[in-house]
Amino acid sequence: MNNNDKGLYVKLLNCALKLERKVVGAKFIFTEDEYRAADAQPITGKIPYCVMVKSAMAGKGTKASVENFGCNGAAKALGVVEPGEISTSGRFYESLGLYQDLTVSKNVQKNTTFCGHRAYGVMVKPLEKFIDKPDVILVVTNPYNCMRIVQGYTHIYGYNVSYKISGNQAVCSECTAFPFENNDINVSMMCAGTRYKAAWNDDELIIGFPYNMFFSIVDGVIATLDLTEPDKKKSEIEKRFNDAGITCPEIHYGRNYFTGLNPV
């Protein structure tokens, strides 16, 4: 797929799903020179990574180095700082009281994904504004659209048995570090921290996946449209494609897998 087609595929996904927020890309930065060259507004002061993501979903791209991370959990998950022994032992999680004892805390720590690299920083901005390739794609949307993205993934890649969900470190670990380290999709229910800091809506979830899957997942969403969408949504989708001046995929009204495959 031509890297210049990012903008078109963002439009295709928006026509198919009616996303309220922009699709964004996150890119790891490994040197000071790369940081200077990164085409995004530098953060001044400190800001949580998940707030950077929300800002990018409103159209504003930013970049942050280690001193700008306003959440140490995200800095550790993204490989910007190295977790210390108090983290790796599970004692930090235990001290929070979020898990019932040290054994559970150690289990959660062991299974939380942390990037294995040491990065200088990170850049997050709307996908269509990337000239080069981001590392991870992030989408925040309602459960229905999350379902459709997962259906698009499954159409291309088959059944995924590796979803990792804990209800914590949602944006940084579950949907950025995990997709990057495992080269696969993940869905998160969000976490209390990001819902407070970034003020997401209660009915929003987040999906993250490697950039190398973006075009195929969109293709899968389009390919499954006719069999999964009810007629009311098909009409809305058709209108969005027409309004965008993009040829709409073939749609058959009265045809989907849950009411019958033959038009009525």
What are the pLDDT digits (tens) for 193-232?
Answer: 999 999 999 999 999 999 999 999 999 999 999 999 999 9
Q: What is the band of 260 on the pLDDT scale with cuts at 50, 70, 90?
A: confident
Query: SS3 for 205?
Result: strand
- Angle, helices 143-157 vs 214-228, to 10°: value is 110
Residue 141 pLDDT > 60, yes or no?
yes
Residue 2 pLDDT > 90, yes or no?
no
Residue 262 pLDDT > 70, yes or no?
no
CA distance 204 to 189: 8
Segment 169-186 mean pLDDT? 98
Q: pLDDT digit string (tens) for 228-259?
A: 999 999 999 999 999 999 999 999 999 888 88
Residue 263 pLDDT > 70, yes or no?
no
Could you tell me the two tokens for 226?
């006719």
Q: Would strands 24-29 and 121-126 be described as parallel, antiparallel, or unpaired? A: antiparallel
Q: What is the pLDDT of residue 259?
A: 85
Segment 119-129 mean pLDDT? 98
Percent of the chain past pLDDT 70, that is, above it, reads 97
Is residue 31 within 8 Å of 59, Cβ to Cβ? no
How many beta carbons lie within 10 A of that of residue 97, not counting itself? Answer: 8
Q: What is the pLDDT of residue 264?
A: 45
Nearest to 172 by CA among 42, 56, 71: 71
Segment 154-163 mean pLDDT? 97
Segment 70-83 mean pLDDT? 96
pTM of the model: 0.95
Q: What is the band of 1 on the pLDDT scale with cuts at 50, 70, 90?
A: very low
